Amino acid sequence: RCDTMEIINKLQGGDQLTVRANDIIEFKRLKIQVTSQQERGTLFQLCFQLRRYYPNDPNNFETLFQTFTNPVKTHSHSTQLKTVGPEPEIIEIIPAAGLFSGGTRLCIIGSNFINSTNLRVKFGDEYDAPIVAANLHGSRTLICNQPPRNTIGIV
C-alpha cells in the first residue's frame, strides 16, 4: 500500500525466481488479486527486489537492490458484469479476408448479439489481440472495420 507501506500478499505470478549472472527475467503477466476499493481506496506499488540468499539458510538473505513502481489504482469490472444469455455465435464474416493494412469493412452474421452502444470485436485469441468498435444492424449482424494485422488470424 502506498499510504501505509503495508505489504499485501495478493499478487499472482510474482513467485520468487532464481536469477543467475546475465539472466533476463520477463514477467508475462502479474495479477493483483485485491482492488483499491477493497483496501479502503489505497493505491498500490509493486516492489521488485534482488536478493542474495546464503547457503543452507533460506531465511537468511541480503537485499542487493530494490525498486518500486509508480503508484497504481487497481479495480475490477467483474462486480458490474451480469449474465445476459448465451454466448454470441459467428456464422459468417463477409468478406472472408481483409488487407494486412486494415480498414476493410466487415459484416459479421451470427446470433446472440446484444444491442449495446459499447459493442467490440476481438481479432484473435491472444491476450493483446486488437479490439475494434462495432455496430449492431438488426439482431444478427455486426458491422466493423478490420484492424491492421501482421499475421493471419481469427475473429
pLDDT tens column, 10-27:
655 555 667 677 777 666
For residues 147 and 42, the model is more confident at 147
Q: Which amino acid is residue 147, in one-letter code?
A: P
Q: For residues 87 and 111, give the distance between their C-alpha atoms in angstroms, rounded to a whole number.
A: 9
Q: What is the tens place of the pLDDT at every residue in 104-123?
A: 999 999 998 888 878 888 88
DSSP string, 105-138: EEEEEEE-----TT-EEE-SSSTT--EEEEEE-S
E strand or H helix at 68, and its extent?
A: strand 57-68
How many CB atoms neighbour CB 142 within 10 A? 22
Q: For residues 49 and 72, give the distance between their C-alpha atoms in angstroms, rounded to a whole number.
A: 18
Q: For residues 97 and 92, give the distance between their C-alpha atoms in angstroms, rounded to a whole number.
A: 11
Q: What is the tens place of the pLDDT at every residue in 54-100?
A: 888 878 888 888 887 777 776 665 555 555 567 788 999 999 888 88
Question: Distances in Å between the alpha carbon of 17 and those of 14, 26, 47, 118?
Answer: 9, 11, 14, 41
Number of H helices, E strands in the chain: 0, 9
Q: Are 102 and 146 in contact (CB under 8 A)?
A: yes
